[in-house]
Amino acid sequence: FPKAYKYMIHIRDSIVKTYNKSLQEKLIQIYLADQKDRIEYDKHLSKKHYTDIVLKKATEKLDRNDLNRIGQIDSIIKIHGYPGKSLVGLKYSHYALIIILHSQSNKLINYFNLLEVAVHNGELGKENYSYFVDRFLIGTERRQLFGTQYKIINGEIIIFPIGHPDHLDERRNNFGFPKFKDDLKSLNDEIRKNEMK
C-alpha cells in the first residue's frame, strides 16, 4: 500500500507540473472580471426603482466587457485549442466555457464543434457542456434539453421551455445533474435566502 500510494502521489504531482500556470492565471483573471461585472449588474436589477437609463448603461458596459473577454478567450483558443483539463486542470477547465456562454447567443454556433470535441476527449465535463447546449438551443428559439436556462423576474423563476420533459431527469442523470425538482428547490431556497438579507 505505501508503494502504491507514493506512486499515485508521484503521478499526481507530475500531472500538476504539466499544467500551463500562466494560462491558468489568465483564465482566473478573465473569470473573476466576468463574475465581478455580473454581481455589479445584478445589483442594478435588485434595486426596486432602477431607471431605464441606469439599466441601459449597465447593460452596455456588461456587453462591452463581455465582448473584450470573448476576444481574449478566442486568442487563447487560437494558440492552444480549448483550454481544458490536461492543459489547465479540472478546476479551471470550465472557465473558458463560462465566458463563451456569456457571449452573444448568435455567436455560440462558432464553438459547437470545439466544445463537443473537448467533451469527447475528456477536456470538459459533460455537465458543463449541457449548459452550452441549452443556451445554444434557447438562443436559436428551440427548447432546451436539460433545464439549465431560466430567468428571475420579481423573485419568481421562469424556466425556458424544455423539450421532451418526460425524459428530462433521465437526460440530466446521464449528464451528472440532480433531479430537476431538487435543483429547482435549491434555487428557490437561494432566492428566498437572498431576499431575507
Tell me, what's the pLDDT at 193?
Answer: 73
**Rounded distance between C-alpha atoms, residue 157 and residue 177, angstroms:** 19
> Per residue in 137-175, is it b (16+ CB within 10 Å) or e — as a string?
bbeeeeebbbbbbeeeeeeeeeebebeeeeebbebbeeb
Give the phi and the psi of residue 152 in degrees, each rounded to 5.
Answer: -115, 120
Split at pLDDT 50, 70, 90, the class of 6 is: low
- Here the cell at position 45 is 436589477
| Helices 112-120 & 126-139 angle (0-180, nearest 10) | 160
Please give the distance of CA 88 from its chain centroid, rounded to a whole number. Answer: 16
Mean pLDDT of the chain: 87
**Interval 13-26 mean pLDDT:** 80
- Using the predicted structure, report yes or no on whether residue 131 has a pLDDT greater than 80: yes
Q: What is residue 83's DSSP assignment? A: -
Tell me, what's the pLDDT at 188?
Answer: 83
| Stated pTM of the model | 0.80
**Rounded distance between C-alpha atoms, residue 20 and residue 153, angstroms:** 41
Instruction: Report CA-CA distances (Å) from 97 to 34, 134, 135, 176.
Output: 12, 13, 12, 17
Split at pLDDT 50, 70, 90, the class of 114 is: very high
- Here the cell at position 24 is 491558468
pLDDT in tens, 25-77: 999 999 999 999 998 887 776 665 667 787 788 889 999 999 999 999 999 99
